[in-house]
Amino acid sequence: MRFFIIVFLILLTITSCSSDNKGFVDVSGIDVEFLVNRYEIDFYKSNKENLPLLKNKYPYLFPRSFSDSLAMSKMSNKEEIDLFNETQKIYSDISGLELQLTSLFKHIKYYNPKFKSPNITTMISNIDYDSRVIYADSILLISLDVYLGKEHEFYSDYPKYIKENNTKENIIVDIANSISVNQIPSLSSRSFIGKMIHQGKKMYLLDLYLPTISDKLKIGFLEKKLDWAVANEEDIWKYFIERKLLFSTDTKLNKRFLDNAPFSKFYLENDNQSPGRIGAWLGWQIVRSFMRNNDVSLQQLLKINELDLYKKSRYKPRK
């Protein structure tokens, strides 16, 4: 009898662990093609003579305002060369990233058959962490200098919640995010719960597109702050309910609970223990609950009104 109990518990654990991981699908038969261009290598190892060839290869990175003299100045700028050399220590070989990209694009195409993989261009952007990845249909730009590692000296003055995501492992998450944003219909509700669920849909796409990536990496929280969110899910939900925030259209709630920040602003003594964007994390849990309790396709999920999704989610916070 004890043996059967143990087996039952193991099966129950497997089932519960996989309930939010519907992304484990067979993509081996899906073909994707894309090119990888190393602009930062081509640029910083270039010279005046082959500048015309460089401009011809990367016309989208040479707008009219980017004069030849400015290009030459950048090529010889010591700080930029130091940044380039430091980036090359980590990213001289990006074959591992190419494998991740292949898997990501296959998963996206599995759910969106018309999806066409963009060509990749790597570059350095003087650590512009607000523009880590730029996706424009056929082209995807990756600023490798933003991913040198959270302890890197170049990031010494950066806030901890920003540095946490300046790692090699975060590149594929940021790429998936940049593509997912374009697949979500516009927000149909100005309410706080509507905005939470809208962000939750984006996070659920990451569940499908990156099935082997941890929740920590997908949401970008410090480990202890993710643990805090999980442990306090019921209290967070009660806070929103008791203060009648769910259907509020107060835009100040965006900065308090939805925007990237060191912590969320409940105006309580232990606020600094919380992660920023707690509303996005909770919206993610609501969308996961909806998908567990409703037999719908991904496209149906994306189209459903946020408030209808909330009503049909049967969401109950973990105690």
Q: Which residues contact 281 (CB under 8 A, 6 or more apart)?
A: 203, 219, 221, 229, 275
Contacts of 98 (CB under 8 A, 6+ apart): 36
Position 188 scores a pLDDT of: 85
| Token pair listed for 246 | 């769910």
Site of tokens 């991913």: 147
User: Considering only CA atoms, which of 109, 123, 97, 117 is closest in space to residue 37?
Assistant: 123
Domains of the chain by residue range: 36-182, 185-313
**pLDDT recorded at residue 23:** 55
For the whole prediction, is pTM greater than 0.95?
A: no
Region of 71 on the Ramachandran plot (φ > 0 left; ψ -120 to 50 alpha; else beta): alpha
Q: Are 26 and 103 in contact (CB under 8 A)?
A: no
pLDDT at 179: 97
Q: How many whole angstroms separate alpha carbon 271 and alpha carbon 280?
A: 16
pLDDT < 70: residue spans in the chain? 1-23
3-state class (DSSP) for residue 38: strand
The closest of 306, 318, 312, 319 to 291, measured between CA atoms, is 312
- Between CA 202 and CA 218 the distance in angstroms is 10
| Residues sharing a CB contact under 8 Å with residue 208, sequence separation 6 or more, in sequence order | 22, 23, 107, 111, 298
Contact (Cβ atoms closer than 8 angstroms) between residue 222 and residue 275: yes
List 229's β-bridge partners, or say none: none
Both tokens of residue 3?
Answer: 């043996």
| pLDDT at 18 (0 to 100) | 37
CB 317 within 8 A of CB 237: yes
For position 4, what pLDDT does the model report?
Answer: 35
The amino acid present at 305, given as its one-letter code, is N
* Predicted local distance difference test score (pLDDT) of residue 137: 86
Closest CA to 39 of 3, 111, 82, 88: 88
Q: What is the pLDDT of residue 218?
A: 98
State which amino acid sits at residue 58: Y
Distance CA 284, CA 301 (A): 13
Q: Can you give the pLDDT at residue 17?
A: 38
CA distances from 182 to 81, 115, 211, 276, 281 (A): 34, 12, 20, 23, 20
CA atoms within 13 A on the CB side of 46: 22
